Amino acid sequence: MGDANKAYELLIDELKETALLGSVASVLGWDERTQLPPRGTEHRARQSSLLAKMVHERFTSSRIGDLLAEVEHSPLLVDPAGDAAVNVRETRRQYDRLSKLPTALVEELTSTAVLAQQVWGEARKESDYAKFEPWLAKTLTLKRREAECLGHGGDPYDALLDEFEPGETSVGIRRTFESLREPLVELIGKVAGSGRKAPTEILGREYPADAQRTLAREAAAAIGFDFAAGRLDVSLHPFCTELGPGDVRMTTRYDPHHFGDSLFGVMHETGHGLYSQGLEAAHFGTPRGEYISLGIHESQSRLWENLVGRSRSFWKWFLPRTRQVFPGPLTGVSDDDWCFAINDIHPSLIRVESDEATYNLHIMLRFELERAMLRDELSAADLPHAWEVKMREYLGVVPANDAGGCLQDIHWSGGAIGYFPTYTLGNLYAAQFFEQARTDLGDLDDQFARGEFRPLLAWLREKIHRHGKRFTGPQLVQHVTGKPLSAEPLLRHLRDKAERFYGV
């Protein structure tokens, strides 16, 4: 037992040192997307590639393997939910997975992501897909190699999806989408036929960026984000990254004529940030101090963005302050008009600006396209046309240019293929968690209307954040709600919204 204890201590030391090195790479990643001058991109690619090599070699070293083997059958792991068992189990899973990847491939994937993201940003600004297409083609080639190295049961997409949502498969994702597609299409059709139109022109009035920044920071702080342990900056595509205990970075973008882009974007990223700030610092670098999956991470962002941030009770408290910051554009705007405007349901071109009902159709589209590209059933050159076809099929709208079409998301440029389905999983988890929170905490609307968000945050900390990787996503939702993951809570939420605002 003494040898096993010592081996476990050494394993944790190795993991924490490796995580520190990885956190340095994360700093460079944050800087790349917020501060890096264009001419520094190639040097940054080399820096990031070197760090990725160092982290990969450390984590997949024979020393980690030997230490794992020494503790795996010891009494330390008698409690499967105990810290030691969680750390060993999840480290073994990652060790076996990453050991299959050649270091040279890891380096090339990392450097390509840095270079491709730079080109993507330029291509998006110029609405010129042809500029980005060679980089997407190269990324797909590398991701196919990665999938082959990892191994899969006939679908390379599954190998990549497993990185973001462990244990999930494309078959499971398709089943989830099938449970949503018909009810969503039916609901959206009823809304379109209701004859009611939300006063969305309110959101397109003049909202100066500096004032938006002030309001966004206030909203983030109000729901619990600790700015002494984080910050909010600007980037082309909003994101949140955890650099380590006490350092969580969020970004957004500001459009003076699109109020919701920044405010709800910040609420979304704050949800991510609250999860990161809720992970136990003492466990940094080990699975007990890491998030479960991106689906669970997205549940936190979508919960705060939509279930809290678009609620009438939130704005009963926050709209008076918003009127103080923007007295001009909100003159004569009633509470009812405002809440209707921010809860509008209609097909749109941009995923991050879409409403809750149509959002998952955007995700289905991306899932089908990226899976087809990875399987060589769709070429990178044909993506714009395929995108238009799918947009017309799913949402009845067609982008006028590449920027509003297949260049709108950053994910593929960074090699995040297999990521998009986690957004829909996050919506499902969020709705089911929120229903349970209502049951456990009583009248949340009354609390929100008074600006009280601590009870909900404390509930999330207790039920979700503090566990790290103790549970898988499906295990967690069963543990918290007593039920397996289901589409019904989300559909109930969306139907209730459609009835309140559209009478259908």
Q: What is the pLDDT of residues 98-115, one digit of tens each?
A: 999 999 999 999 999 999
pLDDT tens for each residue of 332-345 = 999 999 999 999 99
Residue 288 pLDDT > 80: yes
Residues 44 and 179 in one domain: no
Strand arrangement, sheet containing 230-234: 230-234, 247-252, 240-244
Q: Where are the alpha helices (DSSP H) in 35-155?
A: 41-59, 62-71, 83-98, 103-126, 129-150
pTM of the model: 0.96
Residues 347 and 494 in one domain: yes
pLDDT tens for each residue of 460-480 = 999 999 999 999 999 999 999
163 is a domain residue: no
161 is a domain residue: no
- Which of 23, 17, 18, 14 lies closest to 244 in space, CA to CA? 23
Question: What does the block give as tokens for 366?
Answer: 């991306």
Cα 336 to its chain centre, rounded Å, is 30
- Position 153 scores a pLDDT of 87
- Which of 350, 329, 307 lies closest to 459 in space, CA to CA? 307
Residue 11 pLDDT > 70: yes
Residues 186 and 307 in one domain: yes
Residue with tokens 């295990």: 475
How many angstroms separate the CA atoms of 279 and 288, rounded? 8
Contact partners, residue 498, CB within 8 Å, separation at least 6: 187, 190, 191, 345, 357, 504
Contact partners, residue 235, CB within 8 Å, separation at least 6: 33, 34, 251, 252, 253
Phi, psi of 232 (to 5 degrees): -130, 125
Residues 477 and 342 in one domain: yes
Q: Which secondary structure element, helix H or strand E, spans residue 230, and what is its range? A: strand 230-234
**Which residue among 124, 152, 180 closes a domain?**
152
How many angstroms separate the CA atoms of 232 and 216, rounded? 9
Spell 14-29 as b/e; 16+ CB within 10 A means b. bbeebbeebbebbeeb
Assign residue 206 the CATH number of its domain. 1.10.1370.30
338 is a domain residue: yes
Residue with tokens 């397996």: 484
Residues 145 and 190 in one domain: no
Catalytic positions: 269
Residue 79 pLDDT > 70: yes
- Position 1 scores a pLDDT of 58
pLDDT (average), residues 116-131: 97
Residues 109 and 140 in one domain: yes
**∠ at Cα 26 (21, 27), nearest 5°?**
100
Residues 296 and 442 in one domain: yes
9 is a domain residue: yes
Residues 99 and 60 in one domain: yes
Domain with 184, as residue range(s), is 170-502
Residues 207 and 314 in one domain: yes
Average pLDDT, the chain: 97
157 is a domain residue: no
Residues 141 and 176 in one domain: no
Residues 140 and 176 in one domain: no
451 is a domain residue: yes
- Which of 360, 495, 486, 355 lies closest to 432 in space, CA to CA? 486
pLDDT (average), residues 222-239: 96
164 is a domain residue: no
**In the chain, how many domains are there?**
2
Residues 365 and 232 in one domain: yes
